[in-house]
Amino acid sequence: MEDKTRRSVLSADDDDGESGNGSDSGTGIASKVLTKTKRPSMYRVLILNDDYTPMEFVVHILERFFNKGREEATQIMLHVHHHGVGECGVYTYEVAETKVTQVMDFARRHQHPLQCVMEKK
CATH of the domain at 90: 3.30.1390.10
Query: Structure pTM?
Result: 0.71
Question: Roughly how many angstroms between the first and final C-alpha of the chain, as a whole number?
Answer: 56
Mean of the per-residue pLDDT values of the chain: 86
Residue 113 placed within a domain:
yes
Bridge partners, residue 48, by sequence: 85, 115
Strand spans (E) along the chain: 42-48, 85-92, 115-120
Other Cβ atoms within 10 Å of 9 Cβ, number: 10
Q: Would residue 41 count as lying in a domain? A: no
CA 44 to chain centre: 11
In a domain, 73, yes or no: yes
Kindly report, residue by residue over 19-70, the tens digit of the pLDDT. 555 555 667 788 888 888 999 999 999 999 999 999 999 999 999 999 999 9
Q: Which domain holds residue 66?
A: 52-120
The number of distinct structural domains making up the chain is: 1
Q: Does 56 map to a domain?
A: yes
- pLDDT tens for residues 96-106? 999 999 999 99
Q: Would residue 65 count as lying in a domain?
A: yes
